């Protein structure tokens, strides 16, 4: 058990949470048709659904809200936002959007033609969906170690650069409008990508004239891992590492709901005049004018301040070690997790915890239902429902891993919350019959986890 890291902040505002009774939880999850997205947040005790937009803002960010300039065009907060994002990424153009998927949609609908192929380490679910929506194929080329929950590797988010080379040869660079890397690799367990791998990916893609786009949502956590784990990086500042990381890319999509420490916001970064022109023109129809992109002036200010705070190395050290010690609490309770722990979440390996449980009854999802019923905790399946697909023969094809992600909101929970979560898991592990199989009763075409409904077997 690692020594629990001390928060480099103190609490001056709190939000009441409460645990609804066991019988109410039983009823509520049933009424939600066993979809934890349909439960009211007020009926959740500890919410590990996502670390996205759930951060506690600092006093400086809250104060910044009052300085919002709500002019339609050219508000002062936009310039602060632009200057901050540019000082980190070095990109010539910074285009605000209301969140990460809007950045994806605006960029992809400009660059992709039907039939294109987009390689990445692992595409995040909204990234994949936005690519597929444009009629293209999203390919996951993470290294073999990244697919194995228990293999130790400092950078399990790395892309397999040999497979990337082959992929370009087989598909032809003309059919690859850009290549991507997700840092950290959310769907692969929040695992970091090494500086060396980012550089090599850039060389390969640019060598074929293919632009390189970073899905940069958790770039600060990724750069902190580089500083900790990569040879020759320990004496650099995280911001300096970030500058180098972004220098290898031609653009980025960013959700400020992650390493922007804000509750809403995001941006596109690019050096490409043509892309900037096309995106900002298309944006006026859906996101708004180029100096606000679907955000209020005050939101732009909160993001600008949050982007700076997320690079504070005391904060990052606490953040990454908090995740690690949460993982250690679960390991001590006998719960199999993806190791080493990543930057923003602990991933419980549902297949290892429930080896007898049939894949077609969705063990990851079933475990997330049990977690709510037994402890009022909300986690998110990253497995058969999120990434499962109907194959050509109409049968479900399952992804390699069946995980439950416990994403940790930034600056929100303390050690006792994690202890409670670990003890709830321990109870489930000691009585596995509380995890019951599920059968899909309804599913939509895209991003089915948000609205899927089940019958419990």
Binding site for ligand PLP (CB under 6 A): 52, 99-101, 124, 126-127, 182, 186, 215, 217, 255, 257-258, 266
**Minimum distance from CB of 218 to ligand PLP (Å)?**
7
Shortest Cβ 265–ligand PLP spacing (Å)? 8
Query: What is d(CA 348, CA 351) in angstroms, rounded to the nearest whole number?
Result: 9
DSSP letter for each residue of 79-148: HHHHHHHHHHH--SEEEEESSHHHHHHHHHHHH--TT-EEEESS--HHHHHHHHHTT-EEEE-B-GGGG-
Helix axes 195-207, 161-171, angle to 10 degrees: 20
Alpha-carbon gap, residue 5 to 327, rounded angstroms: 13
CB of residue 165 to ligand PLP, shortest distance in Å:
24
Q: Which is nearer to ligand PLP, 187 or 424 (CB)?
A: 187
Q: How far is the CB of 310 from ligand PLP (least distance, A)?
A: 14
Looking at beta carbons only, is 55 or 255 nearer to ligand PLP?
255
Task: Decide whether 28 or 404 has the Cβ nearer to ligand PLP.
Answer: 404
* Residue with smallest beta-carbon separation from ligand PLP: 100
Q: What is the dihedral of CA 392, 393, 396, 401, to 10 degrees?
A: -60
Bridge partner list, 251: 213, 270
Kindly tell me which of 185 and 202 has the beta carbon lying closer to ligand PLP. Answer: 185
CB crowding 292-325: b at 16 or more within 10 Å, else e: bbbbbbbbbbbbbbbbbbbbbeebbbbbbbbbbb
In contact, 193 and 232? CB cutoff 8 Å: no
Least distance to ligand PLP, CB of residue 413, Å: 19
Between residues 255 and 339, which has the closer beta carbon with respect to ligand PLP? 255
Of residues 252 and 428, the one with the C-beta less far from ligand PLP: 252
Nearest approach in angstroms of CB 100 to ligand PLP is 2
For ligand PLP, the closer of residues 257 and 378 by Cβ is 257
Q: 16: exposed, middle or buried (C-beta count within 10 Å: 0-12, 13-18, 19+)?
A: exposed
Q: From the CB of 309, what's the least distance to ligand PLP, in Å?
A: 18
Rounded Cα gap, residues 56 and 38, in angstroms: 23
């Amino acid at each position: 058990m690692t020594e629990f890291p001390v928060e480099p902040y103190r609490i001056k505002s709190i939000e009441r949470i409460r645990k609804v009774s066991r019988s109410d939880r039983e009823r509520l999850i049933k009424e939600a048709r066993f979809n934890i997205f349909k439960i009211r947040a007020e009926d959740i005790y500890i919410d590990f659904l996502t670390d996205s937009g759930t951060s506690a803002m600092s006093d400086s960010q809250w104060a910044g809200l009052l300085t919002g300039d709500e002019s339609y065009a050219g508000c002062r907060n936009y310039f602060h936002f632009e200057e901050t994002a540019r000082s980190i990424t070095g990109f010539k153009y910074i285009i605000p959007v209301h969140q990460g998927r809007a950045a994806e949609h605006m960029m992809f609908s400009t660059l992709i033609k039907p039939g294109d192929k987009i390689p990445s380490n692992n595409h995040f679910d909204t990234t994949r969906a936005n690519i597929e929506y444009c009629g293209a194929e999203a390919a996951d080329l993470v290294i073999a170690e990244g697919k194995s929950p228990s293999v130790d590797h400092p950078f399990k988010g790395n892309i397999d650069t040999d497979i990337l080379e082959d992929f370009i040869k087989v598909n032809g660079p003309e059919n690859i409008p850009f290549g991507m890397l997700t840092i950290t690799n959310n769907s692969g367990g929040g695992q970091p990508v090494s500086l060396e791998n980012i550089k090599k990916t850039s060389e390969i893609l640019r060598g074929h004239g293919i632009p390189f786009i970073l899905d940069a949502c958790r770039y600060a956590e990724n750069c902190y891992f580089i500083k900790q784990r990569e040879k020759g990086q320990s004496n650099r500042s995280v911001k300096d590492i970030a500058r180098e990381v972004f220098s290898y890319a031609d653009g980025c999509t960013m959700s400020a709901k992650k390493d922007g420490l804000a509750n809403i916001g995001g941006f596109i970064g690019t050096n490409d005049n043509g892309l900037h022109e096309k995106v900002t023109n298309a944006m006026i129809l859906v996101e708004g004018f180029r100096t606000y992109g679907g955000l209020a002036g005050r939101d732009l200010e909160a993001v600008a301040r949050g982007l700076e705070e997320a690079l504070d190395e005391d904060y990052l050290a606490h953040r990454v070690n908090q995740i690690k010690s949460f993982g250690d609490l679960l390991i001590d309770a006998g719960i199999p997790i993806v190791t080493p722990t990543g930057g923003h979440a602990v991933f419980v390996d549902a297949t290892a915890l429930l080896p007898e449980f049939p894949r077609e009854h969705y063990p990851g999802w079933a475990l997330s239902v049990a977690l709510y019923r037994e402890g009022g905790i909300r986690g998110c399946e990253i497995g058969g429902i999120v990434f499962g697909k109907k194959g050509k023969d109409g049968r479900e094809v399952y992804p390699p891993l069946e995980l439950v992600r416990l994403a940790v909101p930034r600056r929100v929970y303390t050690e006792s919350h994690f202890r409670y979560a670990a003890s709830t898991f321990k109870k489930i592990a000691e009585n596995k019959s509380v995890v019951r199989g599920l059968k899909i009763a309804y599913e939509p075409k895209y991003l089915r986890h948000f609205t899927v409904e089940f019958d419990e077997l």
